[in-house]
Every structure is written in structure tokens, then in C-alpha cells.
Amino acid sequence: MVAEKLQYSSVRLSKVAVSETHGEDSPYFAGWKVYDENPYDELSDSDGVIQMGLAENQVSFDLVEEYLEKHSANIGNEASTFRENALFQDYHGLKSFRKAMASFMEQIRGGRAKFDPDKIVITAGATAANELLTFILADPGDALLIPTPYYPGFDRDLRWRTGVNIIPIHCKSSNNFEITRESLESAYDEAESKNVKVRGVLITNPSNPLGATIARPVLEGILEFVTRKNIHLVSDEIYSGSAFSSDEFVSISEILEARKYQESERVHIVYSLSKDLGLPGFRVGTIYSYNDHVVKTARRMSSFTLISSQTQQLLASMLSDRQFTESYIKTNRERLKKRQQMIVSGLENSGIKCLRGNAGLFCWMNLNPLLNECTKEQELELWKLILHEVKLNISPGSSCHCSEPGWFRVCFANMSERTLEVALKRIHNFMSSRNLCS
């Protein structure tokens, strides 16, 4: 019935579709592929690649499971509320969910900041939240300033469909990658010299990949800078619940509250449950803005990326249970701290130093002494070696736009302690073979 299939010359897709800005050709993703082909398994493939490139939190899952087992009879009684919930597509999001999120965020900050549920906008993950904010704060061709090293996914999330540029704020190991006034000014000047309009600064606090919180005076300095330049500040605080001690994490929200919210209209916070609660599959992201116009616009835009009402309902229950949340936050911090100490001391025994960290699901490891030449190419060679011979997928600093070669991000919370021991052993053997152990 169908005529002989004709040959068609391919019709062009959009520029966005054919661009490489999705970033998936970077080493960050190449390592995953090697892992996928030969994943480590304690029993069936003890020679496989150990995934240390994925910042996931699996150390406290049992607490969530315990909560569910205790409450599943209640939460699971879904037939009776099903209809109402299935119909709920209001882009304001479930009020109970927003209240629970606001309360959870307050608890993480030790009560040092208050969050108004009506300023919370829901999005399907922090990925969507960051992109959405970029659409609202900047026009195509404009720029956001981001301190390096930064999360590789930002290249896609902030730039791909928005057409916005990222200009790096270069941070150096000599002062522990602190964001200095000079580095901010320098990045801003770079933009000006290219005739690019800077619309804001985006920081991740606690930092990915550094695994460290940003100190209060530094935050104040950044706030002073954005105020002076009359630009926005986005603070991605998705690792806030993963700071090892509540006292060491200072959120921008605390600083604003202490100043009675002066200049707060330029500040916006991104949060998610993917890291702190280990629920990346649920796509739970939020934007918190002190700017009513941003809240209103973000809410409208969230139509493209709402959170499933089923998931909102589940989390509203879970996060409004203070007994659960307080115990979870405390225990999670303790376990992450212990895990980090384990990997840092293990690395030290192998002659490897890490940046002093106090948060997150990873540590920032310095393999610079191992480089033949202090270049990006040599770093990638070392990375490939570690991937194929040591069989560890770790993330090279260059994929995080680090200006100094030789740094690597190593995740420690997405595996069991036993697997971590195996990984440390492999590193130790590798370093021994190079006569580099202390």
C-alpha cells in the first residue's frame, strides 16, 4: 500500500536542538557510560567500576523507610483522597506541602531564618528551578557570574534553552577557593569588556564540588557586591541539610533576616529534596524569592514543570512530622560527617590531600602532584587512567571549570561503607604503585 520509501533530506531542527550546550559530551558524562558498561557489584562484579561521580545521598535512607513503614497505613490510604489529589493542578502547589517545606527549610537553618509558604514556588527538581530563574532574571545574551569550580550541569541548566551565558568567577586553591571581592570584580569586568550585561551572581552554598560551606563574611561580601552592581543573587542551597553541623552553615536567608530584609528583593533561593532526603526520583524542587514579582512570574512559569500532586501529598505528610524531620536532619548530618572523615583519612593514608570540607556528599581531592604537567590535558589523562585502571569514576575538575588542573570531585554517600573501603583500597594500591604513599 505504501509507495517505495523515498529518501528525504533531513529537515533542520532548531539551533537549540543541534547545539552542544546540553553538555553531554563532557567527561562528566563519559565516565558514567564506562560505569554503565561495567558497574561494580559486591557479589557479582567485584572488579567493576565504582561510581564515585554521582552526588546521591544513600546514607540515611533507612530513616525514611522506617518512617514509611510506621505511617504507611495512613499515607497509603489513597483511594479516599485520590480524586481530589489527582485533579489538583493548581500551580500554587498544595498549601500543606508548601508549609511543610517552609518548616523543613527553617529547621535545617536551626530556626535562624523564617520562610513564608506563599513565597515558595514548586518546580520539578532544582534543574528546572535554576533554568526557570534564569529565564526570569536574564535575557538571551546576558550573563550570570558563577564561582568556579561549579556543578557541571549548570552549563546546560542555565544556558541551553535560555541563551544566557555563564562567566566564571575564578577562585584559587591558595585561599581555599574563597570568593573574593577581586574575583567578583574581575568577572564583572570581563563581562563588560565583552559587552555582555551581567544580571546576577549564582552561588551554591554549601558548594558543589568543594563540599564546603561559604563563610558569613564572604556571603556578606557577595551581597554587598550584587547590591552595588544592582544585580540579582541566586543561592542554590540544595545541600543545606548536608552540612555536617547546623552551626557551620550560614544561609543567605539568615543574613537577610538579620538585616530586616533590606535589599532582599534581589535574592532568590533554590532548594530540592534530591540531596538532603535522597529522593531525586520524585523531582521536588522549589524556588524561594523575596521578590513578589519574581514569585508571581515563577509561579506562572512553573506550569511547565510542576511537582506531581501525589508526591506533594506524600511529602506534605512526611515533612510536617517534626519528630521525623528533626531526627532525620540530625542523624543525616552525623552519618555524612562520619563518612567524609572516613574517606578523607583514607585518602590521607594514601598521600592524597583534600580541601577541608564540612558539607555535601563529596570531597574535593587534590591530585595535582600526580600530573606530569600542570595542564587540563594531563588532568584528563590522569582521569582516564583512574577510570580504566583503578576503576573509579570520579569527576575531573576541568568539567567543573576549575582554573587549576589536578583537582577531582569524589562522591562518598552513594555507596555502602564496604564499597567505600574497596574504593579506598584501590586508591591506596594505585598510589603505592607510584611510590607516593606517605
Partner 1 sequence: MELKGSSNLSTLASSNDHGENSLYFEGWKAYDNDPFHPSRNPKGVIQMGLAENQLSFELIEDWIKKNPQASICTPEGVQAFKDIANFQDYHGLPQFRNAVAKFMGRVRGGRASFDPERIVMAGGATGASELLMFCLADRGDGFLVPSPCYPAFDRDLRWRTGVQLLHVECKSGNNFQLTKQSLEDAYENARKANIKVKGLIIANPSNPLGTTMDKATFKMLVKFINDKKIHLVCDEIYSATVFRGPRLVSVSEIIEEIECDRDLIHIVYSLSKDMGLPGFRVGIVYSYNDKVVSCARKMSSFGLISSQTQYFLASMLSDEEFVGKYLSESAMKLANQHDLFTRGLEEVGIKCLESNAGLYVWMDLRPLLKEATFEGEMDLWRVIIGDVKLNVSPGSSFHCHEPGWFRVCFANMDINTMRIALGRIRKFVVQESDQVLQVKKQKRTSKRSHGLTLSFSSQMYDETCSSPRMLSPHTPLPQSPLLRART
- List the one residue out of 59, 60, 47 whose CA is nearest residue 423: 47
Is 37 a binder of partner 1 (CB under 8 A)?
no
CB of 153 to partner 1, least distance (A): 8
Cα–Cα distance, 424 to 358 (Å, whole number): 20
What dihedral do alpha carbons 323, 327, 329, 330 form, nearest 10°? 140
Which grid cell sits at 73? 497505613
Member of 38, 42, 45, 61 binding partner 1 (CB under 8 A): 61
- List the one residue out of 390, 391, 410, 392 whose CA is nearest residue 400: 410
- List the one residue out of 276, 392, 374, 369 whose CA is nearest residue 325: 276
Cβ nearer to partner 1, comparing 303 with 438: 303
Is 32 a binder of partner 1 (CB under 8 A)?
no
Class of residue 265 by CB neighbours under 10 A (exposed 0-12, middle 13-18, buried 19+): middle
Stretch that binds partner 1, among 13-21, 113-121, 327-335, 367-375 (CB under 8 A): 13-21
Orientation angle between helical segments 181-193 and 216-229, nearest 10 degrees: 30
Which grid cell sits at 221? 561580601
Rg of the chain taking only CA atoms, in angstroms? 22
Cβ nearer to partner 1, comparing 124 with 394: 124
Which grid cell sits at 102? 517552609
Map grid coordinates 543525616 to a residue.
Answer: 332
CA distances to 71, 428, 431, 438 from 351, in Å: 47, 8, 8, 5
Q: Specify whether 99 is catalytic.
A: no
Cβ nearer to partner 1, comparing 60 with 240: 60
CB of 246 to partner 1, least distance (A): 24
Member of 195, 303, 323, 372 binding partner 1 (CB under 8 A): 303
Cβ nearer to partner 1, comparing 125 with 241: 125
Element of type H or E holding 326: helix 322-349
Stretch that binds partner 1, among 63-71, 324-332, 349-357, 396-404 (CB under 8 A): 63-71
Cβ nearer to partner 1, comparing 136 with 367: 136
**Considering only residues 336-375, where is the footprint of partner 1 by CB under 8 A?**
none
How many residues comprise the chain?
438
Cβ nearer to partner 1, comparing 5 with 435: 5
Query: What binding mask, one character per residue, do residues 262-291 give for partner 1 by CB under 8 A, x or -?
Result: -x-xx-------x---xxxxxx-------x
CB of 381 to partner 1, least distance (A): 28
Map grid coordinates 557510560 to a residue.
Answer: 33
**Considering only residues 189-228, where is the footprint of partner 1 by CB under 8 A?**
199, 227-228
CB of 78 to partner 1, least distance (A): 6
Member of 148, 183, 251, 309 binding partner 1 (CB under 8 A): 309
Cβ nearer to partner 1, comparing 22 with 428: 22
Member of 246, 310, 320, 358 binding partner 1 (CB under 8 A): 310
Strand ranges (E), 1-105: 50-51
Is 82 a binder of partner 1 (CB under 8 A)?
yes
Stretch that binds partner 1, among 104-112, 260-268, 369-377, 397-405 (CB under 8 A): 260-268
The DSSP letter of residue 4 is: P
Is residue 395 within 8 Å of 26, Cβ to Cβ?
A: no
Q: Which of 236, 276, 391, 427 is catalytic?
A: 236
Beta bridge partners of 407: 366
Is 260 a binder of partner 1 (CB under 8 A)?
no
Per rule CB under 8 A, count of chain residues that contact partner 1: 84
Q: Which of 50, 108, 120, 275 is catalytic?
A: 275
**Considering only residues 94-133, where is the footprint of partner 1 by CB under 8 A?**
124-125, 127-128, 131
- List the one residue out of 349, 363, 340, 101 whose CA is nearest residue 237: 101
Q: Specify whether 151 is catalytic.
A: yes
Catalytic sites, residue numbers:
151, 236, 238, 275
